[in-house]
Amino acid sequence: MTALLRKAFAPLHYRLQDWLLRDKHKTTSLTLGHSTVYVLPSKLGFGFILVAALNFILAANYQNNLVQLSSYLMLVLVLMSLIQSYANIKGLQLQFKEVANGYANQGRTYRLSLANQQRNSYAIQLQWQGNTALVEKVENSSQDVSIQCAKQARGYYKVPRLKVFSTYPFGLAKVWSYLEANADYYVYPAPLPHNHGLSKQALDDAPQQTSGTLSQSGNDEFDGLKEHKQLADYRRVSWKHFAKREQLLVKEFITEADSAYVVDFEQFPGDVENRLSLMAYSIEQAQIQHTPIAIKLPGLTLACDNSDEHYLKALRALALYQKSGSHHE
């Protein structure tokens, strides 16, 4: 029941947070101070206050000064916890580094660095995507921290908000803040190993050879048979097929300059996600072997290349295929 209520009110909760936080935390580097830190008693602290209030009522009814004194001391302890918790986190410097691109079968990693030039900070907790990392001590020298999160579906994502909090020293107060880096990352389809070889195809934008001449380069490759058309070179006619079937077919050739190894969406079996995973594996292997490849997706063709930027662009195209907009989580 509680989980259902949280899910139902989650959009309202995020909108309220966006309105309250505004743009104070939308940065890649943040030093925590009075305008970016929030302090309240923790659950234990509220329970402590409740017990103190009950003690005060009992002491007033029974005129017991010792119990009344204990209730005052409990309230003072909560107030001191609020002050100490704020002092512990004040001056903490958060520096976002990256959330690296990766495949859908891998978890994401949020990387940042922490430092505090004013004092040492203790028991700092960092929460991102439901996962929490504990940093026991933050000193004036910068230290790197990584937070793992669960696997995500392929697509384009804005980096979700990071929450930093602490209940140091007594657990009676909770102090927290946020870091909302203006960054993004891609999740590529999970590579699916296969034995489908890459086909060599003529590129659509390659210059076509005129029908009246034959290439003399010696690098021509047979591409298939097509129906005979008027003015086609008679030297290309497949007389063997004509003798068997009495059908005029013309041999088609492509040259090395006009062809390329193509990772073609239409040549892989399965549904959309399966095809994209097979393509991702082909691109991954081509990058390892530094093989020039072209990419064909419905509505998109990437020219042949073997640069790292080309492989990255190809994987991003797979991640965004049939996806609209970005994910905010």
Angle among Cα 300, 156, 279 to the nearest 5 degrees reads 45
User: Could you give the number of structural domains in the chain?
Assistant: 3
In a domain, 58, yes or no: yes
* Alpha carbon distance 132, 110 (integer Å): 11
Among 140, 157, 188, residue at a domain's last position: 188
pLDDT bin (cut points 50, 70, 90) of residue 219 is: very low
Which domain, by its residues, includes 45? Answer: 19-188
Give the torsion through C-alpha atoms of 46, 49, 54, 56, to 10 deg: -170
Q: Residue ranges of the alpha helices (H) in the chain?
A: 2-21, 43-62, 65-89, 239-245, 272-289, 308-320
Residue-level pLDDT at 212: 33
Q: Do both 72 and 104 map to the same domain?
A: yes
For range 304-324, the mean pLDDT:
92
Q: Do both 34 and 69 map to the same domain?
A: yes
In a domain, 280, yes or no: yes
CA-derived radius of gyration, the chain: 33
Q: Do both 162 and 96 map to the same domain?
A: yes
Name residues whose C-beta falls within 8 Å of residue 21's C-beta, 6 or more positions apart in sequence. 178, 180
**What are the pLDDT digits (tens) for 158-210?**
999 999 999 999 999 999 999 999 899 999 999 999 887 776 665 554 433 33
Choice between 214 and 300, residue whose per-residue pLDDT is larger? 300
Q: Do both 144 and 41 map to the same domain?
A: yes
Residue-level pLDDT at 120: 95
In a domain, 26, yes or no: yes
Q: Do both 104 and 139 map to the same domain?
A: yes
Among 198, 220, 254, residue at a domain's last position: 254
Q: Do both 318 and 235 map to the same domain?
A: no
Among 188, 219, 243, residue at a domain's last position: 188
Instruction: Say if residue 114's pLDDT is above 70.
Output: yes
Q: Do both 164 and 193 map to the same domain?
A: no
Q: What is the mean pLDDT of the chain?
A: 82
Residue-level pLDDT at 117: 93
In a domain, 7, yes or no: no
Residue-level pLDDT at 207: 36
Instruction: Say if residue 154's pLDDT is above 90.
Output: yes
Q: Which amino acid is at 89?
A: I
Q: Do both 30 and 154 map to the same domain?
A: yes
Identify the CA nearest to 291 among candidates 317, 310, 278, 319: 310
Q: Do both 233 and 287 map to the same domain?
A: no
How does DSSP classify residue 207?
Answer: P
Least confident of 27-31, 51-55, 254-258: 254-258
Q: Do both 282 and 144 map to the same domain?
A: no
For range 262-270, the mean pLDDT:
90
- What is the percent of the chain where pLDDT is above 70? 72
Q: Do both 72 and 159 map to the same domain?
A: yes
In a domain, 6, yes or no: no
Secondary-structure percent of the chain, ordered helix, strand, coil, rounded to 5: 35, 35, 35
Q: Which amino acid is at 314?
A: A
Q: Do both 97 and 125 map to the same domain?
A: yes
* Alpha carbon distance 55, 61 (integer Å): 10
